[in-house]
Structure 1
Amino acid sequence: MTTQDPFLSVRHFVTVAQSGSFTAAALALGITGSALSKSIVRLETRLGVKLLHRTTRRISLTLEGEAYLASCLKAIKLLEETEHSFASSKQNPSGRVRIDLPSAFGRRHVLPILLKLANKHPQLDLSVTFNERKIDLIQTNIDLVVRIGTLEDQADLIARRLGEQKLIICGSPSYLTRCGVPSTPEELSQHDCIIDWRSGHRHSWLLKNSMGKTEAYNVPVRYEMGDGEAVLAAALAGLGLIQAPTWLVNEQLESGALLPVLNDQSGGEMPINLIWAKNQHMQPKLRVVIDALLSAAQNRISSFRAI
């Protein structure tokens, strides 16, 4: 059974009251006079008051009808003003959006999109921070985060995929000349390994086994660095092997400053997600940022091309 829209009769009443005629109101609403009359009766029954005086020649509002019409018109005006503000904000989003990004990836691939967006919308204010930690969006007052890796299932959050981070193991020519090129994952135990270390992260790399399945593989750690840029610098300095995302090392691989090893085993992948708190109403300032990042990811344009 279809549930009757409780506000449908309200709209019918306002139209009748403003037109002063059931016939004119029915014509404007595109319904029959009989259906309109029944709708008004249902409204009066629900409210428990009589709204209209009806005669064969004219209709007029009761005292209750006048009071109810004034309230209806005030509510309609408020809704129209709210809708207008939404439309205006969509064209010119304003206010502050707080965004937390992974350090190296955020600076290289997300920040350029945000800066372009800020230039396009001068009333949009951005607060951008960089870290890799898991954070509580509500307690920290953060609107959006970008995170790399598998997400925990949280009902109060919404996540949208931006892309996949592909991993590769590589080292500098000077290091590989000095220490040799590993031909199996087991030979990594004889090498100096450099990891992107953060609190709570395991000392492991993602490697493919003989069945092609990706597994975490513990490696001997010689150097621990706080972010991807530091890991890259250590590898370029010839300190050891790294497993790094292709977006971080593509330029160095193309120039020969870094050389890939264990190609058949090192191709692990990790999801990159845009995350925000579930809310009944999406503010225009937040929507414009989300749309820009999702559009860049979908079209593989701008900096996201390197993911």
Structure 2
Amino acid sequence: MDQLSAMQTFRRVVDLGSFSAAAQHAGVSHTVLSRQVKNLERQLGAQLLNRTTRRLHLTEAGALFYRHCVQILEQMQAMTLELSEHQQQPSGTLRLSVGTAFGELELGRWLPGFVERHERLQIELNCTDRFVDLLEEEVDVCLRVTDHLPDSSLVARHLAQSEVILVAAPAYLERHGVPTSPATLADHPLLGYDRLQQPQRLQLSGPGGLQQDIRMPRRLSANSPLALRAAAIGGLGIASFDRFIVHDALSDGRVVRLLAEWQLPSRHLYAVYPQSRYLAPKVRALLDYVQSYYATPRWPA
């Protein structure tokens, strides 16, 4: 039995949580992988996995072996990369996942320059607002603007702060008046992003440390930030957005900022990628380029 191949199989089964997922990922049958792990256990003289009908659990020996597997496999990968990296430019396919609004409004500002710099690199872009399992979907890097990153084994590199602001179209404000305080927001409809736990709730911080928790009636909800942006520009109500989503509309007057002395909790732009001791040249090139780009504030007030 090829022990290195068996170690790769074992790690993939543990990372993906089941033989079925690992088999689908590898393009082989469940039986082949199961037999490979059983042979590995026989060779090692230790049970590595407890199998139930619903899920797998690492035994104590399995957890120890998994740690060594990860270290050895990453060292093998590092050796391959180090042997060739000095003579290689980033090449191959870079699988990049981004949120829909970020993809449509931000990528055009810096992605062409990155592609021109690395002509041997092809970009496979996935724009989605759903949760992406980077390991299962074989994504190299995910760029996300969020206020919360779940605990995971992934690496998250902070790139920029994203201010969240309240806006409305001038036409809407002419018809319904301009809110002069957080309390008056309750008299206006909110355009809400329905992927939030509480899309009608606004938590505002004001002068002198004042805090206001406001609930607004909801006129429209949507699962697309770009649809809400269009609704706000169209004058349907008040909305809160990351500044980059409405930066151009603020500049040309299609929307105006409300209650500028009050702040909503900021969000942050992260690059998220699988943990590895040595990054592939294509991944490192993207991370360095994006971090350099966003080192300069891009969404000024």
**Contact 1:188/1:220, CA 8 A, preserved across alignment:** no
What is aligned with 2:86? 87
Segments of structure 2 that go 5 or more residues without pairing to the other structure are: 1-77
Calculate the TM-score normalised by the size of structure 1. Answer: 0.65
Indicate yes or no: 2:292 matched with 1:283. Answer: no
- Which of 123, 129, 133 does residue 130 from structure 2 map onto? 133
Indicate yes or no: 2:177 matched with 1:186. Answer: no
What is aligned with 1:298? 295
What is aligned with 1:249? 246
Distance apart, 1:215 and its partner CA: 6.9
Residues 108-145 of structure 1 deviation map (CA, whole Å, 9 limit, x = unaligned): 22344233222222221111111222222111211111
User: Taking structure 1 as reference, are residues 294 and 201 closer, same or farther at Cα in structure 2, changes over 3 Å only?
Assistant: farther
2: CA distance, partners of 1:134 / 1:215: 30
**Contact 1:247/1:306, CA 8 A, preserved across alignment:** no
Mapping for residues 72-111 of structure 1, pairs under 5 Å: 83-89=82-88, 92-111=89-108
Distance apart, 1:268 and its partner CA: 3.4
**Contact 2:160/2:268, CA 8 A, preserved across alignment:** yes
Equivalent residue of 1:288, what SS?
Answer: helix
**Alignment-mate amino acid for residue 217 of structure 2:** P
2: CA distance, partners of 1:257 / 1:110: 22
2: CA distance, partners of 1:253 / 1:81: 49
Equivalent residue of 1:140, what SS?
Answer: coil
**Contact 2:192/2:199, CA 8 A, preserved across alignment:** no
User: Taking structure 1 as reference, are residues 153 and 200 closer, same or farther at Cα in structure 2, changes over 3 Å only?
Assistant: closer
Residues 210-260 of structure 1 deviation map (CA, whole Å, 9 limit, x = unaligned): 653677643321111332322221111111111122222233323332222
Please say which structure displays the higher CA radius of gyration: 1
- Which of 171, 175, 195 does residue 172 from structure 2 map onto? 175
Segments of structure 1 that go 5 or more residues without pairing to the other structure are: 1-78
Equivalent residue of 1:239, what SS?
Answer: coil
User: Taking structure 1 as reference, are residues 249 and 139 closer, same or farther at Cα in structure 2, changes over 3 Å only?
Assistant: same
Aligned residues: 224
**Contact 2:91/2:121, CA 8 A, preserved across alignment:** yes
Residues 166-207 of structure 1 deviation map (CA, whole Å, 9 limit, x = unaligned): 122121121111111122222222212112333756433342
2: CA distance, partners of 1:205 / 1:124: 43
What is aligned with 2:156? 159
**Contact 1:196/1:224, CA 8 A, preserved across alignment:** yes
Calculate the TM-score normalised by the size of structure 2. Answer: 0.66
**Contact 2:146/2:267, CA 8 A, preserved across alignment:** yes
**Contact 1:114/1:289, CA 8 A, preserved across alignment:** no
1: CA distance, partners of 2:236 / 2:196: 22
What is aligned with 2:49? none
Q: What percentage of aligned pairs have identical amino acids?
A: 24
1: CA distance, partners of 2:274 / 2:210: 33
